[in-house]
């Protein structure tokens, strides 16, 4: 990846939201887990390409959202348990039109280094060049959501279970997620 991509560590600053929890100081090899919080008011955001893969897990009240990627527009309502995925190197756009300022939005963001994906693929005897990570518009994946919530619990506990636990969760998440196979 080239260096002109936005670094995942700068994501919460780009969003201009209050950072509530972050795994920045926990040394979770190739994984960054953060929760930001803000009122779910109207917004429009065009996010430049990130250097890492970015998974957004919706954890709160239903929220209408318009997403645009690769000239595709997708309107949906995000419900608790919905997620969307943005591969490294891909810009993205969001718009939330209705004012929901009485609702607090506190999604969970999980950033994964591309090198980590390659390492897990190699350890699983999977040719990482045969897989294409593609944008995912708000969809339910309860297993992915549960793993994200376990990572979040570990983050909130201050790392009670330790780095090996997070690495195990990450490996399991990467091995069980339905990635699209490239043709």
Q: Which two tokens stand for residue 162?
A: 């330790």
* pLDDT tens by residue, 91-100: 888 777 666 6
Please give the pLDDT value at position 46: 81
Please give the pLDDT value at position 182: 39
Return the H-helix or E-strand segment holding 4: none
Please give the pLDDT value at position 9: 64
* pLDDT tens by residue, 153-174: 888 888 778 776 777 777 766 6
* Residue 135 buriedness (CB in 10 A; 0-12 / 13-18 / 19+): middle
* pLDDT tens by residue, 68-115: 877 778 888 888 888 888 888 888 887 776 666 666 778 888 888 888
CA distances from 178 to 26, 54, 131 (A): 28, 15, 10
Q: Please say whether the beta carbons of 119 and 174 come within 8 A.
A: no
CA distances from 175 to 11, 33, 69, 120, 153 (A): 25, 18, 25, 7, 21
Please give the pLDDT value at position 162: 73
Mean per-residue pLDDT, 33-38 = 84
Please give the pLDDT value at position 161: 82
Measured CA to CA, the distance from residue 139 to residue 103 in angstroms comes to 21
Cβ-based neighbours of 95, under 8 Å, separated by 6 or more? 43, 44, 45, 65, 66, 68
pTM (2 decimals)?
0.77
Scored b (16 or more CB within 10 A) or e, 6-40 reads bebeebbeebebeeebbbeebebebbbbbbbebeb
The yes-or-no verdict on residue 2 having pLDDT over 50 is: no
Please give the pLDDT value at position 153: 87
Please give the pLDDT value at position 99: 60
CA distances from 28 to 16, 22, 55, 173 (A): 24, 11, 16, 14
* 28-32, 87-91, 133-137, 165-169: least confident range: 133-137
pLDDT averaged over every residue in the chain: 75
């Amino acid at each position: 990846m080239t260096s002109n991509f936005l670094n995942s560590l700068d994501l919460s600053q780009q969003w201009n939201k209050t950072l509530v929890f972050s795994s920045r100081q926990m040394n979770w090899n190739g994984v960054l887990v953060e929760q930001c919080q803000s009122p779910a008011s109207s917004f429009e955001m065009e996010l430049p390409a990130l250097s890492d893969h970015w998974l957004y897990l919706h954890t709160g009240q239903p929220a209408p959202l318009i997403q645009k990627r690769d000239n595709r527009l997708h309107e949906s309502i995000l419900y608790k348990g919905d997620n969307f995925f943005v591969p490294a190197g891909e810009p993205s756009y969001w718009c939330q039109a209705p004012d929901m300022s009485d609702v607090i939005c506190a999604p969970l963001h999980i950033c994964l280094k591309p090198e980590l994906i390659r390492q897990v693929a190699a350890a699983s005897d999977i040719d990482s060049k045969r897989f294409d990570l593609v944008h995912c518009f708000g969809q339910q994946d309860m297993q992915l959501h549960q793993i994200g919530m376990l990572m979040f619990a570990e983050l909130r506990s201050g790392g009670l279970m330790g780095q090996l636990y997070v690495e195990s969760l990450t490996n399991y998440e990467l091995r069980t997620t339905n990635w699209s196979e490239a043709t």
